[in-house]
Chain A
Amino acid sequence: MDRRQFVKTLTVAGGITLIAPRIAEADGHNKEIIDSWKGCLVDLTLCIGCRLCEYACSNANNREVKPLPSYEDQTVFDNFRRMTNNEYTVVNRFPNSKNPESPIFVKTQCMHCNDAACLSACIVKAFSKEDDGTVRYDPWKCMGCRYCMVACPFQVPSYEYYNALAPQVRKCTLCHHIISKQGGVTACAQICPQDAIVYGPREDLIELAHKRIDAEPGKYVNHVYGEHEVGGTSWLYISSEPFENLGFPTLDDRPMPSYTEPIQHGIFKHFIPQIALFTFLGAIMYQFRSRNQNTNSGEQK
Chain B
Amino acid sequence: MSDTHIPQPVKKRFLTPWTVVLILLMLHGILWAMIRFFKGIGSITNLDNQWPWGIWISIDVATGVALAAGGFTTSALVYIFHREHYHAVVRPALLTAMLGYTFVALGLLVDLGKYYNIWHPILPMMWHGDSVLFEVGMCVMFYLIVLYIEFLPIVVEHFKGRMNLPGKLARLNALSEKILNLADKTLNKVMFFFIIMGVLLSCLHQSSLGALMLIAYHKMHPLWYTPILPLMFLCSAILVGYSMVIFESLISSRSFDQKPEMNILTPLARIIPIIGVIYITMKITDMAIRGSQVYLLDGSVESMMFIIELGLCVIVPVLMLFFEKVRKSPKLLFAAVSMIIVGILINRINVFLVAYTPLYSTKTYFPSFAEVAITTGLVSALILVYRGIAIYFPVISQHQPVATE
Contacts and interface: CB of A to CB of B under 8 A. Distances in A.
Interface of A: 1, 5-6, 9-10, 12-14, 16-18, 20-21, 24-25, 80, 82-84, 117, 120-125, 141-147, 149-151, 153-155, 157-164, 166-168, 247, 249, 251, 256-257, 259-261, 263-265, 267-268, 274, 277-278, 281-282, 284-285, 288-289, 291-292, 295-296, 300-301
Nearest to A24: B227
A161 B48 contact: yes
A123 B134 contact: yes
B82 interface: yes
A159 B52 contact: yes
Contacts of A291: 82-84
Contact of A143 (B113, B212, B217, B322): B113
A260 B214 contact: yes
Interface string B210-227: 011111111100000011
Given A141-B120, A282-B196, A17 B49 contact: no
A153 B226 contact: no
Interface in B196-238: 196-197, 199-200, 203-204, 211-219, 226-228, 230-231
Given A161-B41, A300-B404, A150 B213 contact: yes
Contacts of B126: 124-125, 141
Interface stretch (B63-71, B281-289, B364-372): B281-289
Contacts of B212: 147, 150
Contact of B216 (A6, A25, A151): A151
A5 B120 CA distance: 47
Contacts of A143: 112-115, 117-118, 120
B301 to A, nearest CB: 20
Q: Pick the most buried of A120, A154, A261, A301: most chain B CB atoms within 10 A of its CB.
A: A301
B214 A259 contact: yes
A287 to B, nearest CB: 9
Contacts of B216: 150-151, 153, 256
A162 B43 contact: yes
B80 to A, nearest CB: 5
B16 interface: no
A249 B289 contact: no
Contacts of A285: 79-80, 82, 192, 195-196
B121 interface: yes
A6 B277 contact: yes
Nearest to B197: A278
A16 B121 CA distance: 32
B131 A121 contact: yes
B278 A123 contact: no
A142 B39 CA distance: 19
B316 interface: no
Interface in B1-30: 2-5
Contact of A274 (B113, B120, B200): B200
B210 to A, nearest CB: 10
A153 B359 CA distance: 7
B137 interface: yes
Q: Which 7 A-B pairs have the closest CB atoms?
A: A144-B113, A161-B42, A13-B281, A149-B52, A143-B117, A146-B52, A24-B227
5 contacts: A17-B286, A149-B52, A157-B49, A160-B40, A289-B82
B299 to A, nearest CB: 25
B190 interface: no
Nearest to A80: B360
A164 to B, nearest CB: 4
Given A125-B128, A143-B113, A147-B52, 5 more contacts: A13-B278, A16-B228, A18-B289, A159-B52, A161-B113
Nearest to B207: A267
B121 A20 contact: no
A180 B218 CA distance: 33
A12 B278 contact: yes
B351 to A, nearest CB: 12
Nearest to B213: A150
A260 B216 CA distance: 10
Contacts of A160: 40, 113
B131 A159 contact: no
Nearest to A256: B215
Q: Pick the most buried of A1, A5, A163, A263: most chain B CB atoms within 10 A of its CB.
A: A263
Contacts of B167: none
A164 B2 contact: no
Nearest to B275: A9
B273 A1 contact: yes
Q: Pick the most buried of A18, A24, A142: most chain B CB atoms within 10 A of its CB.
A: A24
Interface in B123-138: 126-135, 137
Contact of B274 (A9, A157, A163, A264): A9
B402 interface: yes
B358 interface: yes
B40 A162 contact: yes
A282 B228 CA distance: 27
A144 B217 contact: no
Contact of A121 (B132, B273, B359): B132
A161 B360 CA distance: 19
Given A161-B40, A164-B40, A20 B49 contact: no
B274 A82 contact: no
B130 A120 contact: yes
Q: Pick the most buried of A18, A162, A259, A274: most chain B CB atoms within 10 A of its CB.
A: A259
A292 B82 contact: yes
Nearest to B51: A149
